[in-house]
A and B are shown apart, each in its own frame.
Chain A
Amino acid sequence: MSAVGVTSPVRGVFGHTGGPLLPSWREAKPNETGRHSLDQSEARERAVPSGADEDAGVIRPLVDRAKSGDAEAFGALYDRFQPEIYRYLVIRVRDQDVAEDLAQQVFLKAWQAIPRYEHRGAPFRAWLYRMAHNQMVDYFRTYRHTTDLEDVELPEAAEAEGLVLAAEMSEALHSALDRLSEDHRQVLVLRFLMEKSAREIGEIMGRKEVTVRGLQMRALQALRREIESQGGLP
């Protein structure tokens, strides 16, 4: 991403001079003169691919085509994002079949709603996450009673490469997570299990990055309290 996103602040009143596509503000923190400097936040967000870069280059044309009813373009979006959304849903509902169904519903809804998607809002990926989250919340609202801890499958633990964490400990952590508020749980899952940055979590949750950091801190503290109230991790 080049650093020329913003042209001169002096613009004609008949409109704007155009110029290169501005990235999302999250890529560009304002400096003291009020203009964007696109490289400032890169150090902090080093491990994270820029959602706006991706959006502008690859995703955006696909989204635009899908918006106008191109199912094949949406198929490409499906290929690109379904695995990630599915993974998020597996983590949240801890049932692969349910997650698969939910993911399918998410993408069906996304297809139906994509004409209303606006590029200037959340990045497409975050938009999908929000849909997935809503779908999951709906699911829990309806089926919560059937997903008590006994039903939780943990097949992934065995598959995970080289992880030594005992299923017991994993269970204790999940159990503690379950007792947190939804906001706290979501921020921790996105951060630690989906490896999202505070910025990306902000996009998904519709919060400001700084708010997410505060939320993350409180969520960790709450989780700690929950773990300790159960006598600590095994």
Chain B
Amino acid sequence: MSERLSFEEILDLCIQDVVAGVATVDQCLARHPEHRARLEPALRTAFDLSALPRPAERRPDPARREAFMDLIREAPQQEPRRLRGGLRRPALPRMRAPSFRAWGAGAFAMRALPAGALALLAVFLVFGRGATPAAAATLTVFAGQVEQQVDGAWQPLADGASVHEGLAIRTLSGAHALLTFPDGSTASLGQGTQVSLARIEVDGQRRIEIEQAGGRLWNDVVPVQGDDSYRVRTPHATVDAHGTVFETVVDTDTSVSTVDGLVRVTSAGGIVDVLTGQVVRATAEEIASPEAIPLVGEITVRAPMAAALTSTDGAATGLLPSGVVFRQVPGVTTTGPGERQQHMFVGNITPGVYTLWLRRYADGDGIVVIETQADRLNVPVPANVRTARVLIAIDIVDGGVFMRALDTEIETVPEAEAPAVRVVQSQRTRAAVELAARVQSAETATATEAPTETRTPAAATPAATEAPTGTATRPSGAATATADIPWPLALRVALDTAARTQDNTVLAQVLERVLDGDDQQDRERLDALAEAIQDPADRVRVVAVLAMNVSPDVRDELGAAIEEMLGTRAGTALRDGLTELWLGLEQAPAPDPTSTATEEATQAPVATVTATPTAEPTSDDRGEDRGGDDDEDRRRGFLNELLERWRERIREGNRGQSESTDSNLRATETDRETVTATATPEPSPTASPSATVEATRTPTLEWWRR
């Protein structure tokens, strides 16, 4: 916001003065000579209007008042409004299953990335000062003063500074700062927070350890793998996270709130796993049972716009059109890129006025739904709006935190006025940008190869489908440079990069796309999937994401794909992963993070999923019936269903009813390993996903019992 008053403000002030008789029209005009031409007619009109005669107020006629009182004594009142059940539920809701079909060409940020978005991203990224060594975090100061301890004395620390392992820093009153670790994990320090970075290791295994002496620390942890760890130590407890969003508040005790994922709190009082939507409080002696975190509001973006909620100090939580995700505002989290809808959840947030920024990443209109305890506001987003904002207020009333939208419509804003989001470059942002760029360039190639391809559902590949979106804005040189990239490469690159971003949501979007059927290139898709899950470390995560984080349609396709691949290495990997997942859920309703397999298997879905196996993918409003605590049941239900179906198929296979029903799959009767590597199937636009289901091998029943 500029310091200078806008014309509207000047006019308003002048009107105030003129109407109140404090100044004449001429005096106002003399004060603002630069606006005279516009100001004068408006002010003269205002003056005329203010001189209009107006009726005086008068007290109601006593007889009329008496009649009225008689009336209301008889008139029944309405029932008080009830808070919506969805907001009463204890847990913060998790992500919904995404579907790529919903937006058609603009299904997810990365695929429909406008060419300008990459260039734009550079503007948004903030680079650390000088070359930041790997074992250091980069400091971003949003407000106030931050200090580091040097030889026992506190000295000011500048914005952009590197904070090395072993260093202690603190935020003074009124300050807000962010530490960005090399992997992209961030810790947001509220005012009066003191931490020291006990450990920052990022080469090979990632180990980040923060000692928090006091204050409020909001952590957004890039999902960890294997023995990686992200740990916060407080005087009262040790908090371990594995890819999650959580907050630690240290005062006379330590409270730990998990907003996404799962966090393990270890203290002298015991070990407690804090699930999404829970808070637990630990003192040096004891640890309380988890309680629910109240949800203040939810913002759902059902438009091809990347949304970010920014506070007045410049901290932001949300997405950029490039797919870069950031969670810097304490109390607010967002789902990642690739969701059909972006969801932002507002919990324990500092009161104030926030701005919801919307930036377009693909064509199309839609709505933004702003849901608070009191109401639900649908804000339309027209197709011609590129950048827009909505103001959101967070108030404390009677000790409770309340959110409300201050606008009922979006305010279109010139792109240049949208504030830069201060995201420090990290492995995470690089991966997101790289993914976006490579997917885009591969898709450009596809678009170039098949410029006449239409969006016929049976014939269009995902790449071709979105070609029209990007063609207009793509740089002209890109197409020739990448013209020879075959179609599946985009997916392989995307999978590969998504695995490295270690973000389940990104992974889900790519996998969903891999599995999204209705195209002729089943073989390539499966091949790409097979490659993706060769690495055992990724396997369970991939499977969990596949099973939980994709739409029912795609899950059907998943079933088909796995059966298709049984007997191949990829098929075996998928099968084993799913079995692990299944066993994990079977054995541990409360996840047990001590076992690596179980931990991975249970944690991934907890972190990212609200599986709605029965919901139609076309339902635009899955949020309505968020069941809440029955996610676990839903997951089990889905797995049961899936496994039962497979068992049935396998039994059928055992009974010798396994002839392939589709000429396109004949090749599977021979050695799959060879086929998947070499075959180029004939185009078969009519091949439905279910046609790929018939198993031609005769797998045993043992694999799922194990």
Interface, chain A (partner B; CB < 8 A): 5-19, 21-22, 24-25, 29-36, 44, 47, 67, 69, 71, 74-75, 78-79, 82-84, 86-87, 90-91, 96, 100, 104, 107-108, 111-116, 118-121, 154, 156-157, 159-160, 163, 165, 169-170, 173-174, 188, 191-193, 195, 197-198, 206-208, 210-211, 213-214, 216-217, 220-221, 223-224, 227, 233
Contacts and interface: CB of A to CB of B under 8 A. Distances in A.
A71 B68 CA distance: 10
Contacts of A223: 45, 49
A185 to B, nearest CB: 11
Nearest to B51: A165
Given A22-B395, A210-B6, 7 more contacts: A13-B293, A30-B353, A32-B143, A35-B174, A115-B78, A173-B48, A206-B408
Given A30-B312, A211-B411, A220-B46, A24 B395 contact: yes
A22 B353 CA distance: 13
A25 B393 CA distance: 7
B68 A160 contact: no
A112 B72 CA distance: 8
B284 to A, nearest CB: 17
A227 B350 CA distance: 49
Nearest to B65: A78
Contact of B49 (A35, A75, A84, A188): A188
A82 B395 CA distance: 29
B277 to A, nearest CB: 12
A170 B42 contact: no
Interface stretch (B12-20, B132-140, B262-270): B12-20
Given A22-B397, A25-B395, A118-B81, A30 B352 contact: yes
Interface in B187-219: 190-192, 215-216
Contacts of B59: 79, 82-83
Contacts of B414: none
B640 to A, nearest CB: 36
A48 B368 CA distance: 34
A16 B399 contact: yes
B468 to A, nearest CB: 35
B50 interface: yes
Q: What are the nearest 5 A-B pairs in CB distance? A: A18-B399, A160-B53, A213-B8, A83-B57, A157-B53
B401 interface: yes
Contacts of B8: 210, 213-214, 216-217
B406 A25 contact: yes
Contacts of A87: 54-57
Interface in B45-98: 45-46, 48-60, 64-65, 68-69, 71-73, 75-81
A156 B291 contact: no
Nearest to B347: A13
B374 A192 contact: no
B427 to A, nearest CB: 29
B600 to A, nearest CB: 27
Contact of B55 (A75, A91, A214): A91
Contacts of A67: 80
Interface in B386-407: 391, 393, 395-402, 404, 406-407
Contacts of B311: 34
B589 interface: no
Given A71-B69, A112-B75, A173-B48, A9 B53 contact: no
Interface in B314-339: none
Nearest to B67: A104
B398 A21 contact: yes
Contacts of B72: 71, 74, 107-108, 111
B599 interface: no
13 contacts: A10-B192, A13-B247, A21-B398, A22-B395, A35-B352, A74-B72, A79-B59, A108-B75, A157-B53, A165-B53, A174-B52, A193-B52, A207-B408
B404 A170 contact: no
B163 to A, nearest CB: 21
B374 A33 contact: no
B51 A163 contact: yes
A119 B397 contact: yes
Contacts of B116: none
B351 interface: yes
Contact of A17 (B6, B399, B411): B399
Contacts of A173: 48-49, 52
B54 to A, nearest CB: 5
Interface stretch (B26-34, B249-257, B300-308, B499-507): B249-257
Contact of B351 (A6, A31, A208): A6
Contacts, number: 242
Given A21-B398, A87-B55, A34 B352 contact: yes
B313 interface: yes
Interface residues of B, number: 88
Contacts of B46: 192, 220
B9 interface: yes
A209 B375 CA distance: 21
A169 B143 CA distance: 55
Contact of B348 (A13, A107, A159): A13
A13 B257 contact: yes
Nearest to A177: B49
B476 to A, nearest CB: 40
B374 to A, nearest CB: 5
B685 interface: no
B7 interface: yes
Nearest to B216: A10
B402 A227 contact: no
B11 interface: yes
Contact of B57 (A84, A154, A216): A84
A25 B53 contact: no
Contacts of A14: 255, 279, 281, 291
B55 A221 contact: no
Contact of B312 (A5, A24, A34, A216): A34
B144 interface: yes
B130 interface: no
B41 interface: yes
A1 to B, nearest CB: 14
Contacts of A206: 408
Contact of B50 (A170, A192, A198): A192
A75 B60 CA distance: 11
Contacts of B9: 213
Contact of A10 (B249, B312, B407): B249
A47 B69 CA distance: 33
A174 B408 CA distance: 29
A179 B314 CA distance: 44
A47 B50 contact: no
B293 A112 contact: no
Nearest to B60: A82
A24 B80 CA distance: 22
B249 A12 contact: yes
A135 B314 CA distance: 42
Nearest to A16: B399
Contact of A33 (B60, B143, B399, B407): B143
Contact of B406 (A75, A163, A208, A214): A208
B44 to A, nearest CB: 8
A69 B75 CA distance: 10
Interface centre among B42, B49, B65, B404 (most CB of A within 10 A): B49
Contacts of A233: 48
Contacts of A11: 249, 348, 350
Given A111-B72, A118-B81, A224 B41 contact: yes
Contacts of A160: 53-54, 56
Contacts of A30: 312, 352-353
B216 A192 contact: no
Contacts of A31: 312
A51 B112 CA distance: 47
A154 B55 CA distance: 9
Contacts of B176: 33-34
Contacts of A210: 6, 8
